[in-house]
Amino acid sequence: MSEVSSTHTDIGIVTPRYFEFGAADDGLLLDSGQVLSPVTLCYETYGELNSDSSNAILLLHAFSGDAHAAGFHHADDKHPGWWHDMIGPGKPFDTNRYFIICSNVIGGCRGSTGPGSINPQTGTRYGLEFPVITVHDMVKAQVRLIQHLGIPKLLAVAGGSMGGMQALEWASRYSTLVHGAIVLASTSRLSAQGIAFNAVGRNAIMSDPLFYNGDYYDREAPARGLAIARMVGHITYLSDESMRLKFGRRLQDRERMDFSFADQFEVESYLEYKGGTFVDRFDANSYIYLSKAIDYFDLETAHGSLERAFADSSSRFLILSFSSDWLYPPYQSKEIVRALMRRGKDVSYCEIESPYGHDSFLLETERQAPMIEAFLSTISREHR
């Protein structure tokens, strides 16, 4: 398990761990028909697994997330995990009660096997020779991790955005392995608008003259293309209201417009900053692969209908949407809820009023906390 010290914060210093499989004849069979072997998953854990291994919760990160969900990596670390406010003693994912796990998805670039990993067949990095992956493939790898940790059945899976897609896959295909699914700001399939934004991001990267058809690892990276892709993506995570409140039409470091093509508005400087910081921690090829996996995600097509996707599911569901989320708007969550209700499944739903757009699931911790706490407490009592 991750080594945790309580000297820094309530979670403390967290050391990532690595699970490797598939070196022999047990590689990961992907939906494409290809076999990925070997596979490494980077993961972190928080809290303690109880004696009967019944208190484990798997957190599923969004597109640009990773295994580092809470705590700090070293004493001078100024940036805690991506869901730090939700995980820890007395928090919704209470580490006094639950054993929390979070792993980086395959195809990522933060410790798990992805296009930046070494291809054992060539001895060089995969690049675009990495096989195309799906959200289902991500979950199949997570199943192997849970088995490795000796957990017969998860108390819950939980995630927002792409993490919510993974939670839906768990509850649809592997409900015998999970009691409850918490799905935040997500969808059962990406809309044409969502696919379009992803396509713009991929084109920005692949049009960068430094992309070299994905073979840039020993050269200067396609930083500008990746930065533009992130800028476009980040706009979809916000809302008109949140951008108005945060930026309005305020100018940056000037009193009036100077009639040039330089960035002059605060929102322009903000997007440049977000794009610039993103290239320091993310791989352009991973952006391409993960965005494509999101595009492919479609429970209705995979199962014939949304109702059939959950026909055999025994999991309970908590589904939350956010009023200003225009990337995965509330109507898409309601479609999932209606399909579950038609199948007679146990589902709770709430649309939370929030101005923060798609990012609300990361920001509205106080608003969503009581519902998550109650849901976990209920399924925990039922499955003791």
Active site residues: 161, 325, 358
Q: Give the DSSP per-residue string, 199-260.
A: HHHHHHHHTSTT-GGG--TTS---HHHHHHHHHHHHHHHS-HHHHHHHTTTPBSS-SS--SS
User: If you ran DSSP here, which 8-state letter would residue 42 be given?
Assistant: E
> Rounded CA gap, 332 and 336, in Å?
7
Task: Name 93's bridge partners.
Answer: 87
For 166, residues 6+ apart whose C-beta sits below 8 A from its C-beta are 60, 105, 135, 138, 139, 142, 157, 159
Q: Give the DSSP per-residue string, 256-300.
A: S--SSSS--BHHHHHHHHHHHHHTTT--HHHHHHHHHHHHH-BHH
> Rounded CA gap, 247 and 175, in Å?
44
SS3 373: helix
Owner of token pair 């492919």: 296
Whether residue 210 contacts residue 221, with contact meaning beta carbons closer than 8 Å, is answered with: yes
What CA dihedral angle connects 123, 125, 128 and 133, to 10 degrees?
A: 90
For 212, residues 6+ apart whose C-beta sits below 8 A from its C-beta are 219, 222
For 108, phi then psi, to 5°, come to: -80, -170
